[in-house]
Copies of this chain bind each other. A is one copy, B any other.
Amino acid sequence: MTDSKKENKILLAHGGGGRLTSHLIEKTILPAFSNDTLDKLTDAASLDLTSASVCMTTDSYVVKPLFFNGGDIGKLAVCGTVNDLAVAGATPVALSLSLIIEEGFDIDTLEKILASAGATAKQAGIDIVTGDTKVVEKGAADGLFINTAGLGTRHENADIDFDRVTKTDKIIINGTLGDHGMTIISQREGIKFDSPLQSDCAVLSGLIADVLNSGANVKFMRDPTRGGVAAVLNEIAAASGFTIELDEPSLPIDETVRAAADMLGFDLLDIANEGKVVFVVDEKDAGKVVDICKNHELGKKAAIIGEVLDKEESPVVELKTKIGGRRIVQMPYGRDLPRIC
């Protein structure tokens, strides 16, 4: 029994580039992702794209805990990078996936995470085409970190640029705020609610393709992950020079998430989402974009949540509150929420 138990843990040699690395790749990694390109195990994946106009992005994932309600680090590592391609106006084509594993990590757990990443990639219609595995000694990493990089081709209707944002544009989000972040935080704090929180972790490329294919005049998109909607809107305000007004009563918020945020003292505008996209849309197309979102399973609670006001020397994000007051929505400082993704 001892031997078989030992064999089910990651050893340093699994990262050494020798026989055990080959074994791990063949028995644990390839089965999760198998496709013609990856299976060749060349030093670099060879791809024939439909266009030479491409987008490239990367993210490392260090989320804690590795499994959370609504997802896990594997699903997140695919969703996050696919979404970064999609909001840049690209059709996702291929992903790389690289593992940094702590010695002693459970191989069954690794298999579950990789299966989840593979299933998410399949659902998104994207292949994981190349990868890498490193193992560090016990104590030199916290379980498992995953990096993914993504490659996509530019969507012909996409013209996504801060410079296109202008007065009267509408701000749209495809659903409720803060679900991912509050799920992670509550789970870490060990707080339970009557109706359980669930991360919104999801692949947005389908919904975004629907919007772009409609020909709607989308000026800018970004997924409000770390730093939340507050960070995204502050980035748009700073880069475009326009003040943005948010309408508090219009913000879609799940009641349990709101209760959790109130209890723990968080502003949901600052909290990470993993299945949300903020659109800046020409006002004449705003209704259409909301309708398209509502017709997609990931956009049922889509809403116009604000609009672009005047150009200013010091543009800000303002929240028009329920009781008619106004407050500035700051760029979050970032301290409170490590390892949310």
Q: Which A residues form the contact surface with B (CB < 8 A)?
A: 11-22, 42-62, 84-85, 87-88, 90, 94, 96-100, 103, 129-132, 134-137, 139-142, 145, 147, 149-152, 154, 160, 222-223, 225-227, 231, 270, 272, 331-339
- CB of A96 within 8 A of CB of B57, answer yes
Of all chain B residues, which has the CB nearest A49? B52
The distance in angstroms between the C-alpha atoms of A217 and B239, with both chains bound, is 51
Contacts of A53 in B (CB 8 A): 46-49
Also in contact, A21 and B334, with CB within 8 A (given A88-B42, A88-B44, A147-B98): yes
Given contacts A17-B227, A226-B21, contact A58 B96 (CB under 8 A): yes
Partner of A335, one of B16, B56, B152, B339: B16
Q: Which of B16, B46, B60, B335 contacts A154 (CB 8 A)?
A: B46
How many Å lie between the Cα of A15 and that of B272 in the bound state? 13
Cβ B151 vs Cβ A18 within 8 A:
no
Residues of B within 8 A of A149 (CB): 56, 58, 96, 98, 147, 149
| Contact in complex: B48, A52 (CB < 8 Å) | yes
Query: Roughly how many angstroms separate A329 CA and B270 CA in the complex, as a whole number?
Result: 57
Give A223's nearest chain B residue, CB to CB: B43
Instruction: Give A54's nearest chain B residue, CB to CB.
Output: B47
- Chain B residues with CB under 8 Å of A57's CB are 43-45, 96, 130
Check A90 against B44 for contact (C-beta < 8 Å).
Answer: yes
A59 and B132 contact, CB distance less than 8 A: yes
Supply 14 further A-B pairs (C-beta < 8 A) apart from A17-B231, A56-B129.
A12-B335, A16-B336, A17-B334, A18-B227, A18-B231, A43-B85, A44-B90, A46-B54, A49-B52, A54-B151, A58-B147, A60-B99, A136-B338, A139-B139
| Given contact pairs A17-B225, A141-B140, A47 touches B56 in the complex (Cβ within 8 A) | yes
Q: Contacts A14-B334, A16-B333, A338-B15 given; indicate if A21 touches B136 (C-beta within 8 A).
A: no
Contact A16 B55 (CB under 8 A): no
Shortest CB-to-CB span from A178 to chain B, Å, is 13
21 A-B residue pairings within 8 Å (CB atoms): A16-B226, A16-B227, A16-B332, A16-B334, A17-B225, A17-B227, A43-B85, A44-B55, A44-B150, A45-B55, A46-B154, A47-B53, A47-B56, A54-B54, A56-B129, A58-B130, A58-B147, A59-B132, A61-B134, A136-B142, A140-B141
- Chain B nearest CB: distance from A167 CB in Å? 22
**Bound Cα distance A14, B226 (Å):** 11
Query: Which residues from B are CB-within-8-Å of A13?
Result: 333-335
Complex Cα gap A330–B29 (Å)? 23
- List the B residue with the shortest CB-CB distance to A94: B56
